[in-house]
A = this chain, B = another copy of it.
Amino acid sequence: MLVIEDAEAIGAAVSSALRESGYDVQHRLDGRQLEADLGRFRPDLVVLDVMLPGRDGFQLLEVIRRSSGAGVVMLTARDGVPDRLRGLSGGADDYVGKPFVLAELVARVSAVLRRLGRTPSTVQVGDLVVDADAGVVMRADQAIELTATELRLLVYLAAQRGRVVSKTQILTAVWGYEDYDPNLVEVHISAVRRKIEEHGPRLVHTVRGLGYVLRADE
């Protein structure tokens, strides 16, 4: 994944937020090396600022489309309706208006990847199937009703399956909070467990002092 953003602070924040979500991120301040980067890293997706020194976002967008199958999410100025239309008609897969909440950007990025089929929209862990697109969770071929928050939480755990994620990471990814009461996470983890572990062994494991993991034990 490639982030091209000349404002260093924003670029750094975006990069680290995406890394938090498990993506492999390179950050560039302009599009000079774009062709080289596309060749070398073969990114699945490029986050592209519209306003850039040198070639602007739309020119870069064309380059990307011509020489790569990468998805493109553009960062447009807030009220940039013209920008926005131009970006979409030029083939961007999504846009995010500045200023934005990091969580929103991350959500859109993963939505684009999912749509492009780079990320399987369904994740399977043991006998649990999570389909983010359909908003459906199944265990042992039986549908399970989750609320919106529970679903977001489980989708996040599923995306990070096998990896321990801290409550802070969860708060950021699911709620967009920088720092908050960990009990909020505990309460919703509890709710998810009650529903998905009603008919089967434990899948959401607590790692004391660190966080949680979604894993099917063998």
> Which residues of chain A have a CB within 8 Å of any CB of chain B?
7-10, 12-13, 15-16, 20, 65-71, 81, 84, 89-91, 99, 101-103, 115-118, 133-135, 147-149, 151, 162-164, 178, 207-210, 213
Is the pair A209, B91 in contact by a Cβ cutoff of 8 Å? no
A150 CB to nearest B CB, Å: 10
With A69-B13, A135-B213: A20-B115 Cβ-Cβ less than 8 Å: yes
Is the pair B164, A135 in contact by a Cβ cutoff of 8 Å? yes
Is the pair A207, B12 in contact by a Cβ cutoff of 8 Å? no
3 nearest A-B pairs in the assembled complex, by CB-CB distance: A9-B69, A148-B209, A135-B164
From A13, A84, A89, A90, residue with most partner B Cβ within 10 Å: A13
Is the pair B91, A210 in contact by a Cβ cutoff of 8 Å? no
Out of B135, B164, B178, which one reaches A207, CB within 8 Å? B135
A174 CB to nearest B CB, Å: 13
A214 CB to nearest B CB, Å: 11
A154 CB to nearest B CB, Å: 13
Chain B positions within 8 Å of A90 at CB level: 101
Is the pair A12, B117 in contact by a Cβ cutoff of 8 Å? yes
Is the pair A69, B178 in contact by a Cβ cutoff of 8 Å? no
Chain B positions within 8 Å of A7 at CB level: 69
CA A209 to CA B102, docked complex, whole Å: 20
Is the pair B148, A208 in contact by a Cβ cutoff of 8 Å? yes
Chain B positions within 8 Å of A89 at CB level: 101, 103
Chain B positions within 8 Å of A178 at CB level: 81, 84
A177 CB to nearest B CB, Å: 12
With A7-B69, A69-B10: A210-B148 Cβ-Cβ less than 8 Å: yes
Is the pair A101, B133 in contact by a Cβ cutoff of 8 Å? no
Is the pair B9, A209 in contact by a Cβ cutoff of 8 Å? no
With A10-B69, A13-B69: A91-B101 Cβ-Cβ less than 8 Å: yes
Is the pair B134, A163 in contact by a Cβ cutoff of 8 Å? yes
